A and B are shown apart, each in its own frame.
Chain A
Amino acid sequence: MEVRVQNIRKEFARFPALDNVSLDIPSGELIALLGPSGSGKTTLLRLVAGLESPTGGTIFFGDDDASKKTVQERNIGFVFQHYALFRHMTVLDNVAFGLKVRTAKRRPPAAEIRRRALDLLDLVQLSGLEKRYPAQLSGGQRQRVALARAMAVEPNVLLLDEPFGALDAQVRKELRRWLREIHDRTGHTTIFVTHDQEEALELADRVVVMSKGTIEQVGSPDEIYDHPVSPFVYGFIGQSNCLDVTLANGEIWLEDRPIGLRAANEPDGPATLYFRPHDVELIDGCGGCLAGLVTASRRVAGTRHLELELGRTHPRVEIELPPERAAFADHTRIAFRPTRWKLFQKGERRITAREEVVVPELEATGT
């Protein structure tokens, strides 16, 4: 079912946890709320569920105003980070709970409840474990029971709060892939909260990046990674370098040297330059480039990571190069230039320069 969040505000003891957040989620989408702790992502999820009530704003399920309904009336499925399975019930009873507590009029017959619970256990690949108690299951199995339990009520929307947060890395990866499969098969509108960007980028149709109670950016994983719209998103998603630069006459300067990048339509003044470690090219000579001393060099799988010092007042910069092009000893001076980068004006959150891709001047070098 389609979910629309409109101008939602939530304050805890006058501290704003969410500030005027709006978000449209089309039916059947798998969407991730991503952000550091305290960004309001879990609060937003709990507001959609009805486990919290908003200070202001409305939430629509389809055309229904859900924000006036109780959590029971919203018919949602909620999966908790620590499973929250009913420990005194068997796996089967856990999954069947949502159907069993219905009023006599809406409750399916006992045999039907049992059949549906068993079907769901089959879907989450736990057939044969229906008589076990939660304490007798592994973490990954428990979370799958929790998901089956949430799906048993045929929810309007499935809400997952850091569903894999308590699991170890291996199980996490497995369950991630598996959740995607389940979603593709069942087609539930699904919102999940995570602080793990890899999880969000890999799993979700769209990612909502949140920070300090507001939405920074909404987009597909590719958009979020390749076209971050704010310094926060640039810094939060993936690796990035940031440098304090000055803009003068359309040229970008690092202290007293131009670095060979142009931002023609921007006003002069201080700004911050962002670029990713792998979006750089080495250049010979330096008629406009970034130059620094190599202070550390690490081989990480298929690439070599170099740490560069551009000057005492600047933070170190990290770049990634193919290993054969980067056999540098310490304290070698190298020159490079970002190939994809972004400029944000100082003191303002909003983007002030579009991304510009510099076409390498010496394209043939090195091949």
Chain B
Amino acid sequence: MAHDASSTLVTTATSETRLSRGILTAVALGFVLLFLLLPLATVFIEAFRKGPAEFFAALRDPETFSAIRLTLLVAGIAVPLNLVFGVAAAWAIAKFEFKGKAFLTTLIDLPFSVSPVISGLVFVLLFSSQSMLGPLLQSYDIQILFAVPGLVLATVFVTFPFVARELIPLMQEQGTADEEAALSLGATGWQTFWHVTLPNIKWGLLYGVLLCNARAMGEFGAVSVVSGHIRGQTNTMPLQVEILYNEYNFVAAFAVAALLALLALVTLVLKTALELRYSDEIAASRRH
């Protein structure tokens, strides 16, 4: 009886009637369906329109294959770099007081607020042959633009904030008492980082790295500007998708897009699986 009453009547200030609950849920689900699931499904349907054989053939194309390799290479360099930077920046910001701290915090967010195209353009202006650095680099025969270094630089810039942004609030909340405890027990700075700080932040760090990786692989704008679109050499997966699509090669375009989407999905599934597997430990590391 009491249970029935609570499900039909407004019994507390925060519970809604059945009708409004239903409407709210329907709106949320409808949105997810329309704007997330439907486009995603379209990608896969288009990719397999002419059957799996065509799909795999499209991926085996040498230019596409080189784009996949390049994307993995760029992400493989950019993500570890931002991992190290993110941990260092979060550590500095959360655990120390220094002049210019607020400025640094704002600066870390810069890549989020600047359009990716401009991020790419910055590197073109910096390293092109008309710039100050350009001739110098040329004299040493160092190629930055329209080559792997340029792609890595642009990707690092764009994915700069992910790890740091994830860690700063976490580390600020955790404070410095654990580190002080370790130091007072005679641990060195490195031991303290390795045995105390890192375990405390590992879930936030993992999440930041996954997000950073997803963005590094999917980045289009900044990479497009510095890439030069040299087929089979400086085209990453998102750029390859555009080229194939512009050539009306829809199956191949959607095949590469599907692979990209799959990478993102795997990332998400991985994260969810880890969260389920270690939910107790994650909860324990939040509170104390």
Residues of A near any B CB (own CB < 8 A): 49-51, 71-72, 75-78, 80, 82-88, 97-98, 101-102, 133-135, 146, 149-150, 152-153
Contacts and interface: CB of A to CB of B under 8 A. Distances in A.
Contact of B288 (A50, A77, A134): A134
B34 interface: no
A76 B181 CA distance: 10
Nearest to B284: A135
B187 A80 contact: no
Contact of B285 (A82, A88, A101): A88
A86 B178 contact: yes
A87 B288 contact: yes
Given A101-B191, A135-B284, A153 B185 contact: yes
A87 B200 contact: yes
14 contacts: A72-B184, A75-B186, A80-B177, A86-B178, A86-B181, A97-B182, A97-B185, A98-B187, A101-B185, A102-B186, A133-B284, A134-B284, A153-B185, A153-B186
Would you call the interface of chain B mostly helix, strand, loop, or mixed? helix
Contacts of A98: 185-187
Given A88-B285, A101-B191, A101-B195, 16 more contacts: A51-B184, A72-B184, A78-B181, A84-B178, A85-B181, A87-B284, A97-B182, A98-B186, A101-B182, A101-B186, A101-B188, A135-B283, A135-B284, A135-B287, A149-B185, A153-B185
A25 to B, nearest CB: 18
A76 B184 contact: yes
Interface in B205-255: none
- Most chain B CB inside 10 Å of its own CB: which residue of A78, A134, A149: A78
B183 A86 contact: no
A72 B180 contact: no
Given A133-B284, A134-B288, A135-B287, A86 B196 contact: yes
A150 B188 CA distance: 16
Please give me the 3 A-B residue pairs with the lowest Cβ-Cβ distance, nearest first: A98-B185, A84-B177, A135-B284
Contacts of A80: 177, 180-181
A22 to B, nearest CB: 24
Interface size bucket, B side? 20 to 34
A87 B181 contact: no
A85 B174 CA distance: 12
Contacts of A102: 186
Contacts of B283: 135
B288 A135 contact: yes
B271 to A, nearest CB: 19
B179 to A, nearest CB: 9
Nearest to B184: A78
B4 interface: no
A97 B288 contact: no
Interface string B248-280: 000000000000000000000000000000000
A71 B179 CA distance: 12
Contact of B180 (A84, A101, A135): A84
Contacts of A146: 181
Nearest to B181: A84
Interface in B138-191: 177-178, 180-188, 191
B146 to A, nearest CB: 46
Nearest to B178: A84
B199 interface: yes
Nearest to A73: B186
A97 B181 CA distance: 10
Contact of B199 (A78, A88, A97): A88
B200 A88 contact: yes
Contact of B187 (A51, A88, A97, A152): A97
Given A80-B177, A88-B199, A71 B184 contact: yes
A72 B177 contact: no
B187 A78 contact: no
A50 to B, nearest CB: 8
A319 to B, nearest CB: 45
Contacts of A101: 182, 185-188, 191, 195
Contacts of B181: 78, 80, 84-86, 146, 149
A84 B196 CA distance: 11
Contacts of B287: 135
Contacts of B281: 88
B6 to A, nearest CB: 32
B170 to A, nearest CB: 13
Contacts of B196: 86
A147 to B, nearest CB: 12
A194 B285 CA distance: 28
B286 to A, nearest CB: 10
Contacts of A152: 185
Given A80-B177, A86-B196, A71 B183 contact: yes
Contact of A72 (B186, B199, B200, B285): B186
A87 B285 contact: yes
A77 B181 CA distance: 9
